[in-house]
Amino acid sequence: MSENSEVGGGRSMSVTRGFDWCDLAIERGLARGAAAVEAFYLESRSVEVMVEKNDIHVPKGDRYSGIGLRVLMASDDGFKQGFASTNLLTAESIDSALAAAMAIAEASPADPARCLAQPDRGAAGVEPVEGLYDEGIAGMDLAGAMKQAGAFLEGALGYDGRVTVDSAMFRAEVSEKTVANSNGVRLSQHKTVASTQGIAFAVDGDRVSSFDLGVAESCALGQVDAFGVGRDLARRVVAALDARSAPSFRGKVLLTPYAALELVLEPIAYSCNAEIVQTGRSKWKGMLGKQVASPMVSVVDDPGIPQASGSTAFDREGVPARRLELVTGGVLQDYLYNCYTARRDGRESNGRASGNDAGLPGVSTTNMVLSPGKHSLEQLIAQCDRGLIVNRFSGGVDPASGDFSGVVKGGHYVEGGVVAYPVKEMMIAGNIYELLTQVVGLSDELWVLGAYRLPHILLDGCSITGK
């Protein structure tokens, strides 16, 4: 790649500007005596429209630029690390941030695992991701954002007059991230993201449904159907009218993707996070190569999905981000690493450093995908002599232990393999790590919820409490 490596996207912003500020920070940091310097520059522009109680509010636009600076100071026991950031981009503010970062480093303990990313070379270099930049999003003005918010309302309120949109939003953002360090890493990427989401309920006399959520997010405007999200949300809250309690039992629950995101994918992401593993909080510490879930369960983290909101060519530290198998056939394959956690385990980073210009790199997923199964949703429901469809979950999930307990929102009772009626005042409880070994079915269709893709999940052995 060229000296200034821009990966994917258009040029609505100046890639040179990001490199200029990063180069200045690196040069001045080294001149001050730092052993190594990393600079992460972020510039963004956005428009956003909010909806409250069926009314569209005045849209707003926002611009931001800032830079985060990490310095390493040499020590006999490794390196000391300091970080500071500023959104006032002047030479003086860069100097002040460097002085603060170096003061923090001097006061910090040394650690032999502290390091910065090395430039990637050869065939394993950074590869661009298709579809990260959309001119329709980059060029969207306030009027266009209002039109999208209006489409959401039209979809929801036009479906049924009993629906109320409690709150909703549409947002379009274009951004540039640039990362450079004194080892020679120099990368920049432009990206657009459009997102819409809303919360609604239905009222018919003294009958009130539970609140429900609809969401869509993509780097491509054509993949964010605000009208369709509003319409589907309205359909679900209207279907939740006439809810009643069901009997208590222990058995099958069918998690919709909304519920499965919180109850299944988020605990898996937590347990695969190398920071969590190394501090002993992960249930899956020391479990690489071992069965941790049903053979039906396979999970990958894929930063290369075209147009997906979590996609990226490189991570927060400038390490190439590539497809990573986390769980295959229920067997744990790998953890999520940034440079620091990888060195602690004697490995190389697999490109999962996360964060922005406001803080040090963390560890996180990109696009997390739970592979689909072989059955339609109707076939999964037919497997339940008695069961509960959980549309949303409102409660607590302890990702360290796996214990969860909470209220079912927008759920339906299943009897004799058919949906009997909507439910209210129902609770579910259990341990998600135990239930992951009792997955008995996955739908053949994936839902896209932001940076997550997952099917409906049928679990057995859950505790279900009604009145």
Residue 342: partners with Cβ closer than 8 Å, 6 or more residues away: 274, 348, 349, 350
Nearest residue to 1 (alpha-carbon basis) of 415, 296, 386, 313: 313
For 144-168, what is each residue's pLDDT tens digit? 999 999 999 999 999 999 999 999 9
Query: Same domain, yes or no, for 438 and 394?
Result: yes
For 262-298, what is each residue's pLDDT tens digit? 999 999 999 999 999 999 999 999 999 999 999 999 9
Read off the pLDDT band of 123 (50, 70, 90).
Answer: very low
238 in any annotated domain: no
How far from 253 is each of 236, 258, 260, 435, CA to CA, in Å?
18, 14, 11, 10
- How do 427-431 and 457-465 pair as beta strands? antiparallel
Residues 16-36: b if buried by 16+ CB within 10 A, e if exposed: ebbbebbebbbebbeeeebbb
Query: Same domain, yes or no, for 272 and 185?
Result: no
Instruction: Count the domains in the chain.
Output: 2
| pLDDT over 90 at 308, yes or no | yes
Residue 19 is predicted with a pLDDT of 96
In terms of C-beta distances under 8 Å and separation of at least 24 residues, what long-range contacts does 79-82 make, across chains too? Answer: 79/35, 79/36, 79/110, 79/111, 79/112, 79/114, 79/115, 80/105, 80/106, 80/108, 80/109, 80/110, 80/111, 80/114, 81/105, 81/108, 81/111, 81/114, 81/360, 82/106, 82/108
Query: Same domain, yes or no, for 225 and 370?
Result: no
Nearest residue to 127 (alpha-carbon basis) of 348, 407, 314: 314
| Interatomic CA distance for residues 410 and 213, integer angstroms | 10
| pLDDT over 90 at 6, yes or no | no
Phi-psi map region of 286: left, alpha, beta (phi>0 left; psi -120 to 50 alpha): left
Domain boundary among 233, 258, 291: 233
| pLDDT over 50 at 122, yes or no | no
Residue 125 is predicted with a pLDDT of 75
Q: How many residues comprise the chain? A: 467
- Average pLDDT of span 5-17: 57
Residue 8 is predicted with a pLDDT of 52
Nearest residue to 460 (alpha-carbon basis) of 326, 294, 298: 294
Range(s) of the domain holding residue 251 = 244-467
| pLDDT over 50 at 412, yes or no | yes
389 in any annotated domain: yes
For 342-388, what is each residue's pLDDT tens digit? 999 999 999 999 999 999 999 999 999 999 999 999 999 999 999 99
Q: How many helices (H) and strands (E) does the chain have?
A: 11, 26
- Average pLDDT of span 233-243: 95
Instruction: Give the pTM.
Output: 0.94
- Average pLDDT of span 39-56: 97
| pLDDT over 90 at 14, yes or no | no
73 in any annotated domain: yes
Asked if 307 and 130 touch (Cβ cutoff 8 Å), the reply is yes
The CATH number that applies at residue 72 is: 3.30.2290.10
Residue type present at position 149: A
Find the helix packing angle between 226-239 and 142-157, rounded to 10°: 30
Query: Same domain, yes or no, for 291 and 414?
Result: yes
Residue 255 is predicted with a pLDDT of 98
CB neighbourhood size of 412 (10 A):
22
Average pLDDT, the chain: 95
**Residue 438, burial from CB neighbour count under 10 angstroms (0-12, 13-18, 19+):** middle
Q: Could you tell me the two tokens for 260?
A: 């499965």
Domain boundary among 233, 253, 272: 233
Query: Same domain, yes or no, for 346 and 416?
Result: yes
Read off the pLDDT band of 218 (50, 70, 90).
Answer: very high
Query: Same domain, yes or no, for 261 and 209?
Result: no
Query: Same domain, yes or no, for 289 and 360?
Result: yes
Query: Same domain, yes or no, for 217 and 295?
Result: no
